[in-house]
Amino acid sequence: MENEVKMSPKEARAKLAETGNRLVDESIGSFLSLRHVEKVYPNGIKAVTDFNLEANKGEFVALLGPSGCGKSTTLRMIAGLEEISSGELYINKTYSNYLPSKERDIAMVFQTYALYPQMSVYDNIGFGLKMRHMKKEEIEERVHKAAEILDLGHLLDRRPKELSGGQMQRVALGRALVRQAGLFLMDEPLSNLDAKLRVQMRSEIIKIHKAAGATTVYVTHDQTEAMTMADKVVVMNRGYVQQIGSPMYVYEHPANLFVASFIGSPSMNILDGVLKGERVILEGGFSFPIGVKRAANYRALLESFRKKLEDLLKDPEGNAKAIADLAGSLKPSQKQEKKAQSFLSKFFKKKGEEEKEPTPYEALSALHEEYASLKEGELPIKVGIRPEDFYPEDDFRGFKASPVFRGSPDLVELLGHEFIVHLPSFGTMIELRITSHEVPVSGKSLGICFDLSKIHLFDPYSGMSLMDKEKENL
């Protein structure tokens, strides 16, 4: 850790000059490293909280989340278009918080393509190279290569307004490609395209990513894109990172309610219930066993969280940031709500309601109270079951069948080889994915069971997944 050795300012200046006035930390293994990066706007709004990410060279990282979750802001911080309020950014081992964009060895693809309207496609692609005073022959070589990869040869003389959306996007990609930069940053590049083109362009982007061998950070709100293209998915909500992992891992082991309900289409069914002994009882009385071990783990989970709160609350001033962060992260970990509040109701909010925003300390104290008052006999719990883990009672194909329950479908959607069945049960509407030779008929009662080995259990207060914690403890 030679960066931590103390020395006189003069020596420091000399040492820095050795590495071209850049702070280089050789101990960092990854190509792109963000450590505790946060973004606070001048009006006090916190857009990104405690963002940590290590991306290796050549990795394709997707920042995934609903709109307003801070993914674009994070990308722009990496690009240098937004200031980093706190935390550290290392690009290729170099401390880059304050480097201007053009010195960060990055190439960016914008959502709106941002092509220079008065230049031809050739000039658009070669513009960045021209600005770096590269020789004309070399620019031509690189542009031609990129044009070949992206099949833009016959469009080189055209102006952006003479191109279609897909062609414009390819030009934007070409512009990033010729730079031969170490880091590609893409800000929802496909959201302006129609569905079919999107599929086509996904493969183009992967092709380019492999051809360039560069690390790519890709922002999107479409989980399909993230799941199909990324090596690593970063799920974000409201500025908080919810989970980082490979697409498969995040799908099979969601860390909290938000990730569970965000990933997967149709989304995971979340059911309210209580844990009595080793049985989970859902609304309506239906119950099933989860095993003694698992039940004990759940109780331990609740207790550990309660303890964590207690410890934090003992020292309000000392733990102020931790308290604030934890309080802030509670809501984002919950299942994403559909827009319940209408536009007009905002105007008719009663006066008293505005003042009811609790401080982090108050919020956590109240939560601690909740935990402390939990009765041993009846512990609230949330159960998550994916639609494809439901089977008709006579066609169970899973590992361990649950008891059968009956229900009448409200709506049956035909998708060709399978059906999406909307079934009101357990006090809510659940969606099932059934492949069956028998067509479910709406209104006609159906016997359903699910795979007990595939259920997910969540703490309703913190939103945390038990399965995830189990895996951690393994």
Partner 1 sequence: MKEVTLREFATREERRKSSLFKAFSVGGFLGPYAICFALFFVFPLVFGVVMALCSFDGKTMFPSEFVGFANFEAVFTNPVLAKDFWGSVWNTLRFALIIVPLSILLPLGLALLINIKPPGYKFFRACIYLPGIFPLTATGLILLKMFDYHYGFFNAFFGLTLDWFGETWSAWLLIGYFCLWCGIGGNFIILCAGLENVDKSLYEAADVDGCGAFSRFLHVTLPGIKDQLFLCLFTTFIGYMNLYGQVYILASNTPDQDAMKSAIYRIQDMLLGSSKGYGYAAAMGICLGIIIIFISVIELIVTKERKGGHAHEERFVSWQKSR
**Site membership for partner 1, residue 377 (CB under 8 A):** no
Helix (H, G, I), strand (E, B) or coil at 168: helix
Residue span binding partner 1 (CB under 8 A) among the ranges 120-128, 263-271, 276-284, 460-468: 120-128
Among residues 31, 51, 90, 122, the one that binds partner 1 under rule CB under 8 A: 122
Question: Under 8 Å CB-to-CB from 46, ≥6 apart: which residues?
Answer: 38, 39, 40, 239, 328
Cα distance between residue 49 and residue 178, in whole Å: 34
Compute the distance between CA of residue 459 and CA of residue 45 in angstroms, rounded to an integer: 28
Comparing CB distances to partner 1, the nearer of 219 and 268 is 219
- 164 makes contact with partner 1 (CB under 8 A): no
Among 121, 259, 280, 432, binds partner 1 (CB under 8 A): 121
Is the Cβ of residue 79 or residue 330 nearer to partner 1 in the bound state?
A: 79
- Burial degree of 240 (CB within 10 A; 0-12, 13-18, 19+): buried
* One-letter-per-residue 3-state SS of 101-125: HHHCCEEEECCCCCCCCCCCHHHHH
Pairing mode, strands 60-64 and 215-220: parallel
Instruction: Judge if the upstream peptide bond of residue 266 is cis by omega within 30 degrees of 0.
Output: yes
Contact residue for partner 1 among 56, 83, 116, 279 (CB under 8 A): 116
Nearest approach in angstroms of CB 68 to partner 1 is 19
Interface residue with partner 1 among 13, 36, 132, 210 (CB under 8 A) is 132
**The one segment of 5-13, 75-83, 219-227, 369-377 that binds partner 1 by CB under 8 A:** 75-83
Cα-based torsion angle of the residue sequence 157, 159, 160, 161 in order, rounded to the nearest 10 degrees: -140
Nearer to partner 1, 148 or 395 (CB): 148
Least separation in angstroms between CB 392 and partner 1: 51
Cβ 136 to partner 1, closest distance in Å?
11
Contact 253, 239 (CB under 8 A): no
Contact residue for partner 1 among 75, 89, 107, 363 (CB under 8 A): 107
Residues 45 and 123: their CA atoms lie apart, in Å, by: 40
Q: Is 81 in the site for partner 1 (CB under 8 A)?
A: yes
For partner 1, the closer of residues 22 and 159 by Cβ is 159
Residue 105 engages partner 1 in binding (rule: CB under 8 A)? no
Cβ-based nearer residue to partner 1, 24 or 79: 79
In order, the DSSP letters of 344-413 are: GGGTT--HHHHTT---HHHHHHHHHHHHHT--SS-EEEEEEE-GGGEEETT---SSSBPPPEEE--SEEE
Q: Which of 9, 20, 42, 100 binds partner 1 (CB under 8 A)?
A: 100
Residue carrying structure tokens 């542009």: 143
How do beta strands 405-407 and 446-450 pair? antiparallel
Contact with partner 1 (CB under 8 A) among 42, 117, 377, 443: 117
Annotate each residue in 168-197 with x if it binds partner 1 (CB under 8 A) or - if it does not, as one string.
Answer: -------x----------------------
Provide the CB-side half-sphere exposure for 474 (13 A, CA): 6
Q: Which residue is associated with the tokens 């099932």?
A: 432
Report the residue number, 41 or 116, with the smaller CB distance to partner 1.
116
Q: Could you list the residues that contact partner 1 (CB under 8 A)?
A: 79-81, 100-102, 106-108, 110-112, 114-122, 127-128, 131-132, 140, 144, 147-148, 153-159, 175
